[in-house]
Amino acid sequence: MNRGETHIVEPDLDGLVGSAVSSGRLRATQTPEEADAFLIAVPTPFKDSKQPDLIYIESAARAIAPKLRKGDLVILESTSPVGATEKLSGWLAEERPDLRFPRLGSTDPADIHLAYCPERVLPGSTVTELVKNDRVIGGMTPDCAARARALYQTFVRGECVLTDARTAEMTKLTENSFRDVNIAFANELSLICDELSINVWELITLANRHPRVNILKPGPGVGGHCIAVDPWFIVDSAPESARLIRTAREVNDGKPHWVLDKVAQAIEATRTRLGREVTVACLGLAFKPDIDDLRESPALEVAHAIIRAAKNEVLVVEPYIDALPPVLSTHDNAKLVGTDAALAQADLLVLLVDHAQFKTVDRERLAGKAIVDTRGAWA
């Protein structure tokens, strides 16, 4: 970072970081230093039981607490379950009993301003969306929210809308759960259409000609650090009421297993046709097109299962990485190759991510290949 370099594939990010470092406006440290404002943006995974794991937020709170001074601003940006900002306030108070921290809705004076403001960006457009998108800012008190808004208004061109911390937390969870439910509808349609011998891609195209219908495209599941995780935070908070949200998660979590069944069927049919073992190529590992982020990726899950079950070499194509991730590199039969090599050598192509370069493949190069297209890129 202090060399002005990043490891993330994101348009305009390298230039922005390089410029900020060279001008002295950005510096990375391994321990917190005194500042007027602290923004906490750390992972918020869930445990095996699907319960939120806030250990990284707690760790960040205890790390910055010794550096806090009266009048400082602390903002939590990590996507978090409802009540996380209040817990953050409690952890800070434990470390700094000499300071007064705000209580949600209280009018009592406080020494520290505390707010919640979730990021709202699309990977692949992060730099642009950090500036142009509206932001929801939830304060522990109205004064906390106003202080946080003053900071964001220095760079956000969208509207900064104020609310309380709990509503802001739920807003981010609602946004991602809405997406998850809609994706689950599309994924369930793909299962139904397969049973009824209907082309799901054509079906969705036709249905979307209705002026008030906008069905999303199905895929091999749902990935990423937000949509595949955040709905569980709502389910954990209200398990008896969040029935639709839970079901959507189960549908999307189950989709990779359905894809693997289709791949197994295709391998068996191709083996019978060729009279030998089948060379499989998995195209794409990222959780969405044209990025290098593999977090919670269903494509990676499917590729890993194929490699574990394969009797010979499996070709893996992911144009945005230079080496296989550890979960795959430990297998001797997994090989990272380019698109051209995969098209030349594979008997079965499993399209898992609709990267731009996959969608533009000459259809003549697919002739004679068995294909499992989970994204409809070649439909």
Q: Which residues are known to be catalytic?
A: 172, 226
Sign of CA pseudo-dihedral 31, 128, 148, 89: negative
Indicate the DSSP class of residue 46. Answer: B
Q: Which amino acid is at 259?
A: V
Residues 232, 218, 224: CA angle, nearest 5 degrees: 40
Residues 357, 360, 366: CA angle, nearest 5 degrees: 105
| Element spanning 311, H or E | none
Query: What are φ and ψ of residue 311, in 5° steps?
Result: -95, -10
Tell me if 247 sits within 8 A of 180, measured CB to CB. no
| Element spanning 205, H or E | helix 200-207
Tell me if 282 sits within 8 A of 213, measured CB to CB. no
Beta bridge partners of 75: 39, 115
Structure tokens at 181: 């439910």
Nearest partner of 119 among 230, 250, 17, judged by Cα: 230
Tell me if 229 sits within 8 A of 78, measured CB to CB. no
Tell me if 132 sits within 8 A of 157, measured CB to CB. yes
